[in-house]
Amino acid sequence: MTKKRNGFLRFCCSFLPGAGEMYMGFMKMGLSLMSMFFGIIVAASIFELGPLAVLAVIAWFYSFFHVHNLAGLSDEEFYAVEDDYLFHLSGEGGKDKSFVKRYRTIIAVVLILLGIMLIWNSFYWMIANLIPDETVWVLQEISYRLPRLLAGIAIIAAGIYLVHGKKKSLEEEEKKEA
């Protein structure tokens, strides 16, 4: 059952992502946020991808303010909020397509790039002591610069995709109006 509950305890619980939602009775929301937060931290540490931890900070801020936004709702709005998972991976929850089906290509590209990065880092550290220092330096530069280059290319591609999609939707709206 959802309740607004004690303000001080709610504030204390809001420092742990998902705990504030759980304290107010939104177990599914809380579980989603807590799983996302700790999953990002675990993935960043296991795969040695420190920059991924920025997503954990974003999840923390979202959860913190989400709790206080829920608490700031009027009583009738608060009780109308449905406890639901944040992500519907199976396609349930009234959505036509599941999360994985909608973003299959993006997920595949991210997983492939992540796999390539992990293989490269493992390979690099296995051969670093066996090759000359000059070659190690070149490989280090490639390891440092290549992910940034690929990220830049991905950002440009995403921008082009968004502009192209917006242009296409504007053209479709013009056709409907005509």
The three-point CA angle 18-24-29 to 5° equals: 40
Higher pLDDT, 98 or 156: 156
To the nearest 10 degrees (0 to 180), the angle between helices 133-177 and 104-127 is: 170
Is 90 exceeded by the pLDDT of residue 31? yes
**Cβ burial 31-67 (10 Å sphere, 16+ → b, else e):** bbbbbbbeebeeebeeeebeeeeebbeebbeebbebb
CB 53 within 8 A of CB 39: no
| Least confident window among 41-45, 51-55, 81-85, 168-172 | 168-172
Is 80 exceeded by the pLDDT of residue 167? no
Is 90 exceeded by the pLDDT of residue 60? yes
Taken as a whole, the chain contains a residue count of 178
pLDDT digits (tens, 9 = 90+) for 116-127: 888 887 888 888
pTM for this model (two decimals): 0.60
Residues 6+ apart with CB under 8 A from 121: 48, 143
CA distances in angstroms from 8 to 30, 63, 98, 146, listed in the order given: 18, 16, 38, 48
User: Which pair of structure tokens corresponds to residue 166?
Assistant: 């917006």
pLDDT digits (tens, 9 = 90+) for 79-105: 888 888 887 655 554 555 666 777 788
